[in-house]
Amino acid sequence: MRLIDSHAHLNSDAFDADIDAVLDRMTQAGVVAAVTVGCDDADLPRLEALLARRPGFLFGAWAVHPEYPDHREPDVDEIAEVASRPGMVAVGETGLDFYWCKEPLDWQRARFRRHIAAAKIAGKPLIVHARDAEPEALAILREEKAGETGFVMHCFSSTVETALAVVEAGGHVSFTGNLTFKKNDALREVARALPLERLMLETDCPYMAPVPLRGKRCEPQYVEYVAREIARLKGLEAEEVAEQTTRNAIDFFRLPL
Ligand SMILES: [Zn+2]
């Protein structure tokens, strides 16, 4: 199988001790690339150091995460400039989070709009984090015409209705190991309902390890479990899911693969 992990946090300190072994296991599992996501100023140099070590294998995305109310707020030009650096393929993760943060959240909405503007300037797609806020995040994406530059709703955990509206608005949906969690029957219905051409796979590692590894540190090699789960749900071969979602990720992030 040829797989891509479209959302990983390999710059996390959870991987400090054994990053080379993690990347080796990733290669052995057929994962040909990972998009690794930095969430604040402190993450950026770590992310860029990682990209410089493994160009063409690790790609980057950066934005101040919606969970952080009090971090420095880069302006649109700075975000666009970072998104245009070598190896950078997207702006994110960005979006709205009404689970961890409570109103008033106009700072979160303003940050999201700034990120969308920067992505359009840089000509890069957006990685969207939306938690308990999917309909409003989608409304903002529509209003700002984010479909023009492309967006993916990552670690998707909303309804079939919202997922179909994302596709309708020109967006993609990606699933993590949460698709394999026992209680997530409703999410499995979402995966069944969506066209394979709009799906991507991710681990969101070091979080969200799939069953049967739930609770352990997650790593990119486990993206295979997400592919197998989607294949099972759609009655397809895992290889077919791997090939199409890899093609989707290459096109979406415009990866030189
Ligand atoms: Zn993430």
Tens of pLDDT, residues 23-53: 999 999 999 999 999 999 999 999 999 999 9
Binding-site positions: 7, 9, 93, 129, 154, 204
Local confidence band at 148 (pLDDT 50, 70, 90 cut-offs): very high
For position 24, what pLDDT does the model report? 98
CATH number given to 3-251:
3.20.20.140
Q: How far is the CA of 37 from the centre of ligand 1 (A)?
A: 7
Asked if residue 174 lies in contact with residue 191, where contact means CB atoms within 8 angstroms, the answer is: no
Q: How far is the CA of 9 from the centre of ligand 1 (A)?
A: 6
The mean pLDDT value for 109-133 works out to: 98
For position 140, what pLDDT does the model report? 98
Local confidence band at 71 (pLDDT 50, 70, 90 cut-offs): very high
Task: Provide the 10 A C-beta neighbour count for residue 207.
Answer: 16
The mean pLDDT value for 87-93 works out to: 98
Local confidence band at 88 (pLDDT 50, 70, 90 cut-offs): very high
Q: How far is the CA of 169 from the centre of ligand 1 (A)?
A: 22
**Half-sphere exposure (CA, 13 Å, Cβ side) for 83?**
29
Q: How far is the CA of 239 from the centre of ligand 1 (A)?
A: 25
Binding-site positions for a divalent metal cation: 7, 9, 93, 129, 154, 204
For position 100, what pLDDT does the model report? 93
Exposure b/e, 56-87, CB count within 10 A at least 16 = b: ebbbbbbbbbbbbeeeeebebeebbebbeeeb
Local confidence band at 19 (pLDDT 50, 70, 90 cut-offs): very high
Per-residue pLDDT tens over the stretch 225-246: 999 999 999 999 999 999 999 9
**Half-sphere exposure (CA, 13 Å, Cβ side) for 60?**
27
Q: How far is the CA of 200 from the centre of ligand 1 (A)?
A: 14
Grouping H, G, I as helix, E, B as strand and the rest as coil, residue 118 is: helix
For position 5, what pLDDT does the model report? 98
Q: How far is the CA of 61 from the centre of ligand 1 (A)?
A: 10
Q: What percent of the chain has pLDDT over 90?
A: 100
Per-residue pLDDT tens over the stretch 186-203: 999 999 999 999 999 999
Report the chain's mean pLDDT, rounded to a whole number: 97
Asked if residue 218 lies in contact with residue 7, where contact means CB atoms within 8 angstroms, the answer is: no
The residue that leads in pLDDT, 116 or 103, is 116
Local confidence band at 173 (pLDDT 50, 70, 90 cut-offs): very high
Please name the residues in contact with 24: beta carbons below 8 A apart, sequence gap of 6 or more: none
